[in-house]
Structure 1
Amino acid sequence: MTTTRSTTPGRTATPDPAFAAAARRWRVGRTRGSGTEARRAWRARYVRSLVAADLLCAAVGAVVGHAVRFDPTVAGLVTAAPTWSVLVLPFAWMVAMLLSRSYEERFLWAGAEEFRRVFVAALVLLAGVATVSWAFRLEVARGFVVVAIPLATVLTLVVRYSVRSWLHGQRDRGRYLQTTLLVGHRAGVAALHEQIDRERYQGYDVVGCCLPGSGPVSAFDGLPVLGGLDEVVAVVERYEVDTVAVLPSPELDGGALRRLGWDLEKTRAELLLAPAVTEIVGPRVNIRPVCGLPLMHVERPELRGVRRLTKVAVDRTVALVVLLLGSPALLAVAAAVALTSPGPVFYRQQRVGQDGRTFSMLKFRSMVVDAEARLDVLQAASEGNGVLFKMRGDPRVTRVGRVLRRYSLDELPQLLNVLGGQMSLVGPRPPLPSEVEKYGFDMHRRFLVKPGITGLWQISGRSDLSWDDSVRIDVRYVENWSLMFDLMILWKTVGAVVRGSGAY
């Protein structure tokens, strides 16, 4: 491989530093024999480790369930233990996991589908135990089932999350990656390249791109241009590319895209197609036969009805419980604010909520009382995204306020807004009226739902996000809202708060 892009008739090979650097990196990888087969060898080991871990989790659940239900020292419980149930449970758990297809690679490593399938396996096992015990009149203690299966489920989820976190950490260090080729027009390639770089833990290492023929170009967006849209298969074979990500383009529609898929079947590369509606995912998108053609059907976002009432009930119940249980901590924070800085404990600010209605949002005061008056002086030093004012080391923030902001403790009074119905636990960031005046058409989509104390913006970088990223993230949440999505965001919020990334 040379330090210039392979050319086609009519094109001139042009040296480029970015291409040369990538070429050197690929040469090193190729001399170590790190082709597609070698780069994917870890997957089988990963799955085998999951199988062993699941068996161990089920065995622990069975032993604990046996001890709790049949411990002779516990008064009133049966002392005769059916040993066969303890021995059978791990293998029954394994069968349930296989039936739920929880070991298929496409469901592992990213997304909530892996964890959902563990829950499905637990339900399958419960149904199977009930059916078999009834059909064959087996004496399976209900106490054993109630303890063992839920414990096995929880342990399996914890282990799988831990193993996935380890894998993501390894990918951040450059291990267990798969080389990726981006195919499409420049704007799409640049956007997807930026997104992949931002989420490197997903395991994709972009090594080049294929663009429509437009003259002698050797690099674009820091990536080597390895060929045109008609050279994708040749590039994949030449560099043993693991994954090809194809973006929407008029040159690759219909028959051309179908032929590309057929040609890639002869290689080891996986094919990823980016639909035009990339922010819509999950159950809203289905492939349905229409007039003999498989067409993508996009359902309406479910923002009303029973699911919305469920979200409201969960929001207010959780907010009330947290306020009651956390009242001592809240009082301690309020005292710290009052004793270390003159002024009120709470800070009220007008924000725009659902359907564009304004409301008074509560926070613990983290700045001096005349912070708004000082804003004009500091505007030139803003480190925000052009719409939001953000500044690391903002002189208006008090000593206690820095701690509150670092761990998002200043947001806790917003639980009262959740109880009052103006906010939700999870949703888009509540904007200022001055921000709304600068919104484009897409950004108004966020007003279909209530703003949240936390959301995708909280777990994706907060103040470090660009304005375009903020728009994209808010729209993605509205388009794909579900209770499971909310639970995933709440879980990841804990890690984001501990890390404090983008909190200033």
Structure 2
Amino acid sequence: MSTQEMPVDGLDLIGSLVPPPSRTVEQQPLRTVGRRARATPPVSPTGPRFAVWARRYVAALTAWDVLVGATAALVPSVVSETLSSSWLRIVVLCALGALVWPLAVASMKGYQRRAVGVGSDEVHAVLRAWVAVVVAGAVCAELVPALAETERDALLKLAVTGTPFAVALSVVGRFAARKYLHREQRAGRFVRRVVVAGSAAAAGQLTRRLANESEAGMTVVGVCVPDAELADLVGLDVPVLGDLRHVGTAMRDHACDAVAVTSDDATRFTYLRELSWSLEGSGVEMLVDPGLVEVAGPRMHIRPLVGFPLLHIEEPHFTGPRRVVKRTSDIVLTALGLLVISPVLLVIALAVKLQDGGPVIFAQKRIGRGGEEFTMYKFRSMRTGAENELAALMERNQGKGGLFKLSDDPRITRLGRILRSFSLDELPQLFNVLNGTMSLVGPRPHLAHELAQMPAHSSRRALVTPGLTGLWQVSGRSGLEGDEAIQLDLRYVENWTLALDLLIIWKTFSAVLRRVGAA
């Protein structure tokens, strides 16, 4: 929930009933009950507030789109014989492009500060602006009677050929801006300062999730928990700023930009409503954690009923046209990829063979879609007979959640370490993709005995075809713990889209080149 801007000093406190924000309510002193709360030092905000840096970010995007609009009009105008006959006409068209393109993006809500750095709303706005400009250009070309037929055709071509250029430049600019923003946020700058409110257990879990998602651009300055839990808090990594009645005071004292409220018994009934009232006109966002960790926004819809709304969660879809699209994209991209990297495959195969004369390919039974067993292929990175040595190494296992992991595995050959460092040993799985037992993107396939040691809910991973890469790999590859990897796989299963697949493939190249979490 976003609220209008005004100084944070105007926040009202949450009590049994919060008065309308127009009234002045004396702020209650912050109670710090319990040893942990009394020992909490004040958090000193650093860097500009969210409203400040977000405004600068949006202004930079707007300026970029002005330049993009002018450039997108200039290039087709110069190459058009009709439009390039007059420099004055070109200047007018460039000025028109510099005005129309950012206005079109703005009309599609492409400059909303709440979407800064997160989600895909910025890109969707650019794509919608593309359609709007083409349609508007076609309509204007037909409705302006003073234009000659040749000029009308030239203007229509300008709208049709110039907008794809504008879309490409705008998306590239947003990608660069977001990469810069995420790099700054990983360093602790340009982040939203957040107070988490809810029960201690739920608040601690949400705090850890936000800490692990650096690209969410949020830093938790502290938590507010029910009064009954203040005396014996343990396991929280952030300061306790008071009970649930002191959210307003905590946000004012620590110059916060948002409050994140958990979904539990402590925040049920009237608490959320009263908190939302207190934030009106403060410029502070109210974020509610629905408690559905793996379910993303596109599947959530508010269903309005008489007197109260309900959150409707759509079922995930794994069949029909979506599956056909995924399979088609797998075949096309894999076939093209194999054509490009075939010389690399031959060189690696020759190197593995010359290394010790053993087999080039390591074949292993894995569990795939629907729990069915299939044979997965890899370039052999261990000495021959390595599988027979596994039992002797189990005492040194560093993996969790049923997975075997050993950083200094003695079975790996010198060449195998190089192949694993850049995930080159995985390349033969492209043939698994072609035969349909695997997909380019999906949950990682596991061994049967590994799955037997995983939680029961992990079986939902078998609803989709296992993948060569996935959210697990681009979020840390082998560096993630077993439970975290399962949660990421489930998040993918619940929210698959073709756009998500393309994003994961893009990030996979970056993760491999940086050798993030390689094993």
Q: TM-score, normalised by structure 2?
A: 0.87
Amino acid at match of 1:467: G
Distance 1:491 1:266 in 2: 41
Q: 1:292 to 1:7 in 2, by over 3 A?
A: closer
In the TM superposition, residue 91 of structure 1 has moved relative to its aligned partner by 2.0
Q: Does 1:158 align with 2:172?
A: yes
Q: Does 1:42 align with 2:53?
A: yes
Aligned to 1:195: 209
Deviations 1:258-278 (A, max 9, x none): 011111225342211000223
Pairing partner for 1:415 from 417, 423, 430: 430
Amino acid at match of 2:487: R
8 Å Cα contact 1:243/1:269 also seen in 2: yes
Amino acid at match of 1:448: L
Distance 1:65 1:97 in 2: 20
Aligned-partner SS, 2:68: helix
Q: Does 1:391 align with 2:415?
A: no
Pairing partner for 1:7 from 16, 31, 56: 31
In the TM superposition, residue 361 of structure 1 has moved relative to its aligned partner by 0.7
Distance 2:58 2:236 in 1: 36
Amino acid at match of 1:41: V
In the TM superposition, residue 105 of structure 1 has moved relative to its aligned partner by 1.2
Pairing partner for 1:216 from 209, 219, 231: 231
Pairing partner for 1:228 from 226, 231, 243: 243
Pairing partner for 1:62 from 47, 66, 73: 73
Pairing partner for 1:323 from 324, 338, 345: 338
Amino acid at match of 1:183: A
Deviations 1:413-438 (A, max 9, x none): 11111111111111111111111212
8 Å Cα contact 2:397/2:405 also seen in 1: yes
8 Å Cα contact 2:360/2:380 also seen in 1: yes
Aligned-partner SS, 1:227: strand
Deviations 1:234-268 (A, max 9, x none): 32233332221111121212322101111122534
Q: Which has the higher contact order (CA 8 A, sep 6+)?
A: 2
Aligned to 1:337: 352
Structure 2 gaps, min length 5? 1-28
Distance 1:14 1:198 in 2: 23
Aligned to 1:103: 111
Aligned to 1:445: 460
Amino acid at match of 1:99: S
Pairing partner for 2:139 from 122, 131, 137: 131
Distance 2:72 2:436 in 1: 41
In the TM superposition, residue 406 of structure 1 has moved relative to its aligned partner by 1.6
Aligned to 1:148: 162
Deviations 1:368-398 (A, max 9, x none): 1222122222222222224211122322222
In the TM superposition, residue 109 of structure 1 has moved relative to its aligned partner by 0.4
| Residue pairs, 1:83-482, within 5 angstroms | 83=90, 84-136=92-144, 138-140=152-154, 144-212=158-226, 213-217=228-232, 220-265=235-280, 267-482=282-497
In the TM superposition, residue 13 of structure 1 has moved relative to its aligned partner by 5.5
Aligned-partner SS, 1:394: coil
Q: TM-score, normalised by structure 1?
A: 0.89
Q: 1:12 to 1:87 in 2, by over 3 A?
A: closer
Out of 279-288 and 52-61, give the one that drifted further: 52-61
Aligned-partner SS, 1:139: helix
Distance 1:409 1:146 in 2: 42
In the TM superposition, residue 284 of structure 1 has moved relative to its aligned partner by 1.1
Taking only aligned residues, the RMSD between alpha carbons, in angstroms, comes to: 2.4
In the TM superposition, residue 186 of structure 1 has moved relative to its aligned partner by 2.4
Distance 1:238 1:474 in 2: 39
**Equivalent residues, number:** 481
Structure 1 gaps, min length 5? none
Q: 1:78 to 1:162 in 2, by over 3 A?
A: closer
Fraction of identical pairs, as percent: 37
8 Å Cα contact 1:7/1:13 also seen in 2: no
Amino acid at match of 1:59: A
Amino acid at match of 1:91: L
Deviations 1:61-94 (A, max 9, x none): 3333334x33x7xxxx997476244442232211
8 Å Cα contact 2:83/2:154 also seen in 1: no
